[in-house]
A = this chain, B = another copy of it.
Amino acid sequence: MSVSGNPRQARRLSYTVWNEFRHEKTDEAVREIYPAGMHQAIAGYLSQQEGLSVRTATLDEPEQGLSEEVLAETDVLTWWGHVAHEEVRDEIVDRVQARILEGMGLIVLHSGHYSKIFKRMMGTSCSLKWREAAEKERLWVINPHHPITRGLGRYIELPHTEMYGEPFDIPTPDKVIFISWFEGGEVFRSGCTWTRGKGKIFYFCPGHETFPIYHNPEILKVIENAVRWANFAGNAKVDLEAANVQPLETIES
C-alpha cells in the first residue's frame, strides 16, 4: 500500500486502485507495458489530478490489500483482476460489499467483470463472449449528459483490444454510457452504471493486460471522471439498517 497526495488536505477524495498484480510478475509482455503494475499506471495519472488522494492495493499484500482501515478511508475503489479471482477471500468480498452499500464507489475494470465482488453486487453470472485477436474497438458515447463522458469526443478508438461481446449477463444498468463496436463484428455495453445501497458502481470494459490501454489518455480520463462521479454525495444521516420502529401516527385498527 502506498499513498500519494497530501493527507493533511481536508476533503480530498480518497481513491484506492486495487490490482490483482499477477500478470505483471509472470508475463514478460505485460511487464514491459506495466513494469510497476497496471495499478501504478492508473495511480500515476490520477494522483496528478486536482483534489484526489490516491493509494494502491494489491492481492498479495496483507489482508489482500483491503483491510478495514483501508476501506474505511476509501471513497472510491477500482478493481482489476483476472487469473486470481478465486483467491480473493469471501470475507474480503463481504467487507467490500458492506462498504459499497455504505456509500463507497466501485469501478470494475475489464476482466473484473468475473470478480467475486462484481458478481456479488450484480446477482447475475456476468458472463460474456470474448476473443483475443488484437482487433480494433470503438467506444461510442451514447449518453453525453453523463459526467463520465465529460471532455471526450464522440468515441474513443483503441487499435488493439480483446473483444468482449453481448449478451453480457448483467442487470439492466441505470445508464449505459458507452457501447463498443468491434472489428470482428460484435457489440458490447462497455460502460454501464448501477447504484447499490448508497454506493455507485461503474463497469468499464477496456483494459486487456497485453495492450497499453491504461497509458491511453482518454481511457485515463474516463477513469478520472468515473472516480469523481462515484464519490458519495448523498445523505449520510439516513441509514439503510434494519430497525424496529415506533409508529408516527396513532394506530386504531
Contacts and interface: CB of A to CB of B under 8 A. Distances in A.
Interface of A: 97, 101, 103, 114, 120-125, 127-131, 133-136, 138, 140-147, 149-154, 159-160, 163, 165-169, 171-172, 174-176, 179-187, 189, 194-200, 232-235, 237-249, 251-253
Ranked 9 nearest A-B pairs via Cβ: A184-B247, A185-B248, A144-B238, A144-B235, A149-B235, A127-B242, A136-B253, A185-B249, A145-B198
A145 B234 contact: yes
Nearest to A154: B238
A195 B131 CA distance: 27
Contacts of A199: 145
Nearest to A160: B253
A169 to B, nearest CB: 4
Given A150-B234, A152-B235, A152-B237, A244 B127 contact: no
A196 B119 CA distance: 12
Contact of A143 (B131, B167, B246): B167
Contact of A103 (B103, B145, B196, B237): B145
Given A142-B167, A169-B197, A127 B237 contact: no
Nearest to A149: B235
Contacts of A154: 237-238
